[in-house]
Chains A and B, each alone.
Chain A
Amino acid sequence: MNISFSSEQEILRKSVAEFLSKECPGEKVRDIEDSVEGYSAKQWKKIAKLGWMEVILPEVYGGFDDPFMNIIIIMEEIGKAAFPSPFFSTVILGGYTILEGGSENQKKDLLKKMAEGKLLLSLAQHEDDPGYLEAAINMQATLSGDEYVLNGTKMFVMDANIADKLIVAAKTDEGTTLLLVDAKAPGITCTIIPSIGMDNCCEVIFADVKVPVKDTIGEPGKGWEILEKVMLKASIAKSAEMVGGCKASIDLTAFYAKNRVQYGQPIGGYQAIQHYMADMLMYYDISSNYLYKVAWMIDEGMDCSTEASALKAQVNEYYKFISERGVQIHGGVGTSREFDIGLYYRRAKAFEYTCGDSDHHIELVAKAIGL
């Protein structure tokens, strides 16, 4: 047992953190949130150059066979900085889907472009039914010659507005099938839906969109199997981003509480504040340690689906708790757009829904413990 990071991992963490604190401080985050694109293409090129996208790739596809833990480190730092980017959509959801289900040609072509920062991906899974099970996928892909024809509406498609390719989960005769669709294909209408995350949450309408059969990811009917594997890793990665947000909320709030003076004392000296903050730190420490355990289980090839669900369900609650207390302790200024703590409060709610909300994961755990 050695519950600590290697020196290489510490260096990775430091480099990601330094880049983000320099390139993307709070004002920049808000600027990006307010922009039409919702991300900075300039920053995206830089992080591609730094090799962040390659961290998920095996050596044969241009990566370094990094452990999953390294992605966790990057995601934690992204969460700390509240960094608005299509990293999760492209690298985690898109990249892992291609790795899990893609053909050799798709992997070679798409992963290379992704690593170079030249391909943005977006996963179109959800529809009007906001469930997380396969039953919530109903959009039809009708076979016509050597093409599928897509009709229907996908909801909550993150970063569809900037994506080059959409990965669409649709129903074919064989069952759920994943299709790689050109985001600018005729018949696609993409609209950004205002959301609490101020992120690129999109509605995508498909009207007779034609997709060559060769652009299927994995075998027809195997789409859900692939997505389940992707969602396992993605939910852990999203949890890491949220755990990073918890840490940033605590650091910001502790700093504020040590410096804000009322009644002649820093408010951090008052027990009402101290006891809030003790709970915040407790939940963070419990979450981060569990995150590392679950990520370690992935690296060890152990089955950790129950643990991953427990992690996401609990981190959903803890991130909301920690960021909410953070705003409360900041007082009036905490509610303003100008102060960073509000970024985390909003993200805690936005990320709650990503890769499974609490009810979804709790039910998975209930089944796993024999209920």
Chain B
Amino acid sequence: MDFKLTEEQEALKKEFEDFFQEVMKDAPPEYGTGGLEGTYKTDEGFQFHMAVAKKLGEKGWLSRAWPKEFGGQGAPLIEQLIFNEAKDKYNAPGVDMFGIGMFAPTLILAANDEQRERLLPPIAKGEVSYCQGWSEPDAGSDLASLTTTAIRNGDHYIVNGQKIWTSGGHKADCMFLLARTNTEEKRGKGLSVFHLKMDLPGIEVRPILYMNGTHIYNEVFFKDVKIPAKDMIGGENEGWQLTRQTMNFERSSIGLFIEGKNRVRDMVNYVKTHKKNGKFLSEDPIVRQKLARLYMELDMGHTLAYKIAFLQEQGGLIFAASAASEAKLFGSELIQRIANYSTEIMGLYGQLTESEWAPLNGVMNEMYTMCMGLNIAGGSTEIQKNIIAWVGLGLPRIR
């Protein structure tokens, strides 16, 4: 049993942290405390994200985990965890969770040589941003029931249908799309993966404002959109298998625990410097209990994140599937508790959104609304529980 990082890993961690600390000195105020909202809600935030991405690209850090033959360094997954931890410690952007996190692994696994040579370098250089074309109005958790079609017509596929909850769709250059290429088949059969540019004729992006007015999500409509056949990734009708296989990116959810620790640290400082009924909040045993509990849960989740990277490195995602779901479930519910407790502790001030009156510039209040998205995106809490029950405990699946 050994939880220690090697000397090389420690050095790497320091190198990453130094970089992100430096880079964050240039963060515009609009970027706020980062996350999807920091990246997508303002132009300034997005430009900063892309500028950091370019710097990361120059260092070769976006593609560190890729195999050497595809321009990466074949870095082990644990180093990816260390990288993500350093990045999240400073709430830094620059890593496109869709391009780097999901589509690049898909390309590495299933694209042909021409596609890899054409599509991987811009991702590695941080020049291109992606969005994900998966969810539909009637296909959320039950993704395989999607109905957007891509019908072969000569050298092209003609796409018709609608995607929804497309994070950053209004900013992204490209999308990776999951669409039905065989309308005779049901569910997972007959789906294919495509790469497409968001400026193709027939694509319309409409904003879906979050409950607090923030623009992150979109609807994307496809009306007779022509995608060149050469932009289908992997075999026709093999998209579902491919989508499931490529989920083996770093799945520890470490960002949730690091972000949580940052926020709890902010709150510890806050309660030591703010009074309620004439007494410092830090003297209130209820406040102390709430914050200490959050810290403890965060430290346990943080430790689990390392275990997940270890398991994934040992035996791939299948090996870590239940634990990865546990971390996502635990982390997202924890973020929700942090937001709720923090806005409770602040008293009346907890209701204030971003402004000079709001404590911590309204970040805890923003978290209180944004955290609901975390519980739903990337596999809802209920889906994570299903996975844990089926994979982790072997409980029967009843349809």
Q: A residues engaging B (CB < 8 A)?
A: 1-6, 9, 69, 250, 254, 257-258, 265-266, 268-271, 273-275, 277-279, 281-282, 285-287, 289-290, 292-293, 295-297, 299-300, 307, 309-311, 313-314, 359, 362-363, 365-366, 369-371
Contacts and interface: CB of A to CB of B under 8 A. Distances in A.
Contact of A285 (B285, B292, B323, B382): B323
B1 A286 contact: no
Interface stretch (B59-67, B170-178, B299-307): B299-307
A250 B307 CA distance: 20
A263 to B, nearest CB: 10
B337 interface: no
Contacts of B326: 278, 281-282, 285-286
Nearest to A365: B292
A254 B78 CA distance: 32
Contact of B289 (A269, A273, A279, A362): A362
A4 B295 contact: no
B191 to A, nearest CB: 26
B247 interface: no
A366 B300 contact: no
A281 B392 contact: yes
Interface residues of B, number: 53
B329 A278 contact: yes
Contacts of A295: 1
A258 B390 CA distance: 11
Q: Which applies to chain B's interface (DSSP): helix, strand, loop or mixed?
A: helix
A269 B395 contact: yes
Given A282-B329, A369-B268, A258 B291 contact: no
Contact of A310 (B288, B300, B386, B397): B300
B1 A2 contact: yes
A2 B78 CA distance: 11
A92 B1 CA distance: 22
A310 B392 CA distance: 25
Contact of B322 (A273, A281, A293, A365): A281
A271 B272 contact: no
A289 B271 CA distance: 31
A2 B3 CA distance: 6
Interface centre among B78, B264, B288, B307, by most chain A C-beta atoms within 10 angstroms, is: B307
15 contacts: A3-B311, A5-B1, A257-B395, A266-B396, A271-B386, A271-B389, A277-B389, A278-B387, A278-B392, A278-B393, A281-B393, A299-B1, A362-B288, A363-B285, A365-B296
Interface string B288-321: 1101110111011101101100110000000000
A299 B329 CA distance: 31
Nearest to A271: B386
B218 interface: no
B336 interface: no
Given A268-B395, A278-B388, A310-B296, A293 B268 contact: no
A314 B303 CA distance: 14
B388 A269 contact: no
Interface string B356-399: 00000000000000000000000000101111111011111110
B4 interface: yes
Contacts of B382: 271, 275
A107 to B, nearest CB: 28
Contacts of A297: 3
B200 interface: no
Contacts of A286: 300-301, 303-304, 326, 330
Nearest to A280: B393
Given A285-B392, A366-B291, 17 more contacts: A3-B3, A258-B395, A269-B397, A274-B393, A281-B388, A281-B392, A282-B326, A282-B330, A282-B388, A313-B293, A314-B300, A363-B289, A363-B292, A365-B296, A366-B292, A369-B268, A371-B291
A127 to B, nearest CB: 23
Contacts of B390: 274
Contact of B78 (A1, A69, A258, A292): A1
Contact of A277 (B291, B325, B393): B393
A74 B71 CA distance: 48
B300 A290 contact: yes
A362 B394 contact: no
Contact of A370 (B268, B299, B306, B325): B268
Contacts of B114: none
A3 B4 CA distance: 9
B155 interface: no
9 closest Cβ contacts across the A-B interface? A274-B389, A310-B296, A278-B388, A278-B385, A269-B398, A366-B292, A282-B326, A366-B288, A268-B395
A4 B1 contact: yes
Contacts of B300: 286-287, 289-290, 310-311, 314
B2 interface: yes
B394 A1 contact: no
B209 interface: no
B5 interface: yes
B282 interface: yes
B2 A307 contact: no
A294 to B, nearest CB: 9
B1 A371 contact: no
A180 B307 CA distance: 43
Contacts of A258: 394-396
Given A365-B295, A371-B288, A1 B3 contact: yes
A274 B288 contact: no
A371 B268 CA distance: 7
Given A258-B395, A274-B386, A289-B303, A362 B292 contact: yes
Contacts of A359: 289
B2 A1 contact: yes
Contact of A69 (B1, B293, B396): B1
Interface in B211-253: none
B389 A278 contact: yes
B384 to A, nearest CB: 7
A180 B208 CA distance: 72
Contacts of A311: 300
Nearest to B289: A362
Contacts of B307: 3, 289
Nearest to A292: B1
Contacts of A290: 299-300, 303-304
A273 B395 CA distance: 9
A278 B393 CA distance: 8
